Amino acid sequence: MMAKFAAVLLVPLLAASAVSAASVTNTDPAAVVLVITEGGQRIEVVVDAGASESLCSSGCFMTTPDGDRIGLDGGETIDIVKGSAVVK
């Protein structure tokens, strides 16, 4: 009985600690380049028109085509609209 109780308590804790990546969708008619800085590494990610990418699983900064720099924790849903990020 006690083992079942402990399992019921641990499963939600393990699920809560799992970090999901941010999802970015480009709604613009052309590809966009996002600059991602994560863990001290800077990379450029190309997101084609109408495409989606998953990124920033452990938190990052994202620089959008219009120059905005946004801190992400992971799990966010972001649309790129006219070069700007709309975080949902």
pLDDT (tens digit per residue) in 5-37 = 434 444 444 444 345 899 999 999 999 999 999
Domain residue spans in the chain?
Answer: 19-87
Tell me the pairing of strands 32-38 and 22-26.
unpaired
- For residue 70, the tally of other CB atoms under 10 A from its CB is 16
pLDDT (tens digit per residue) in 45-83 = 999 999 999 999 889 999 999 999 999 999 999 999 999
Q: Given strand 77-81, what is the order of strands in its sheet?
A: 52-55, 22-26, 77-81, 84-87
* Percentage helix, strand, coil for the chain under 3-state DSSP, each rounded to 5: 20, 45, 35
| Confidence at residue 25, expressed as pLDDT on a 0 to 100 scale | 98
Tell me the pairing of strands 69-72 and 52-55.
unpaired
